[in-house]
Chain A
């Protein structure tokens, strides 16, 4: 079962969601629920967005918190973006002795060739603590290649040039 409530006008967007795992899949009964809060504000060419997500644990599954703060500035066909994300997993007292903290920064420049064609240049960097080996993505959607380090504590970096074409 999941539910969401949103509120928006021209300048602001606020939303909250709730997901009950135990009703979604019988095999996931061990994990209770998750909630997510998102907000975005637009001021002229500036856009600032934030998301916070909390997943509860019950002893068999990890409790996880993630947060993201991002901003974008649009000037004509040019767009500049920055993003900072945090990921915290707490496995204390569970069968999973995993406690991880990591963060990721991203910077991007996008040039819109037309309404449907764009070139996007993105740099990402993940910082892991000594116990973590987080994976990220090279783009906001479900990109095919993960940005990952191969060992706990390593930092991973990625640089991508992408062509986006839509119709």
Chain B
């Protein structure tokens, strides 16, 4: 009798459970750490070269999606940058914070036949244009030198950066303010 009641109870519990698939959480990350010898071309003794530990966009992220039924799904993503070599934030402000973490893509959204609606802070479609064409670990000056210059400008105390354009260019390679964006259901082919 007790066995039968227990079976019924389990059956009732299963029947009353939402018919949604569980959200599959995916944790991911990468560490790109190296040692570099950099010669800056300056012949002055003590200023000509250096050996440094480098970090190349190391990160830790969590993402997932849940089927809500009716062709609708919820999705989310939260990614942190890990600054291995200096403990600062990945925006280039050495030493601030001291925990070596910074926010990368972070959003929640809904997907369906209408496309994908995302709310949060994440890379622009403009930046994504060239990401597939980047050859792994090989540098490009495309959008890169200006970003580096932004770092230098931020570290100076001058009220007027030498190249205001560098500040402008940073918009191209960084995540803009939190926003809402609708992506069409399928890419144009």
Q: Are B140 and A141 in contact (CB under 8 A)?
A: no
Q: Give chain B residues whose Cβ lies under 8 Å from the Cβ of A108.
A: 135-138
Q: Give chain A residues whose Cβ lies under 8 Å from the Cβ of B39.
A: 156-158
| Cα(A155)–Cα(B32), bound, Å | 26
Q: Are A136 and B55 in contact (CB under 8 A)?
A: no
Q: Are B36 and A70 in contact (CB under 8 A)?
A: no
Query: In residues 23-57 of chain B, which contact A (Cβ within 8 Å)?
Result: 27-42, 47, 52, 54-57
| Cα(A5)–Cα(B187), bound, Å | 8
CB contact between B141 and one of A17, A104, A149 (< 8 Å): that residue: A104
A135 and B126 contact, Cβ closer than 8 Å, known pairs A24-B171, A144-B56: no
| Cα(A28)–Cα(B150), bound, Å | 14
Q: Are B139 and A81 in contact (CB under 8 A)?
A: no
Q: Are A38 and B133 in contact (CB under 8 A)?
A: yes
Q: Are B165 and A149 in contact (CB under 8 A)?
A: no
Interface of A is mostly: strand
Closest B residue to A159 using CB positions: B37
B116 at the interface (CB under 8 A from A): no
B42, chain A: closest CB distance, angstroms? 4
Report B169-189 CB contacts with A as 1/0, cut-off 8 Å.
101110010000000000111
| Cα(A130)–Cα(B34), bound, Å | 31
A49 and B54 contact, Cβ closer than 8 Å, known pairs A96-B163, A145-B36, A158-B38: no
| Cα(A4)–Cα(B57), bound, Å | 24
Q: Give chain A residues whose Cβ lies under 8 Å from the Cβ of B113.
A: none
Binds A, one of B14-22, B62-70, B83-91: B83-91
B64, chain A: closest CB distance, angstroms? 16
| Cα(A84)–Cα(B108), bound, Å | 38
B118 at the interface (CB under 8 A from A): no
A13 and B34 contact, Cβ closer than 8 Å, known pairs A67-B142, A148-B148, A155-B41: no
Q: Which residues of A contact B (CB under 8 A)?
A: 2-9, 13, 15-19, 21, 24-25, 28, 30-31, 34, 36-40, 47, 49-53, 55, 57, 60-62, 64, 66-68, 70-72, 79, 81-83, 85-87, 89, 96, 98, 102-104, 106-108, 110, 120, 122, 124, 134-151, 154-167
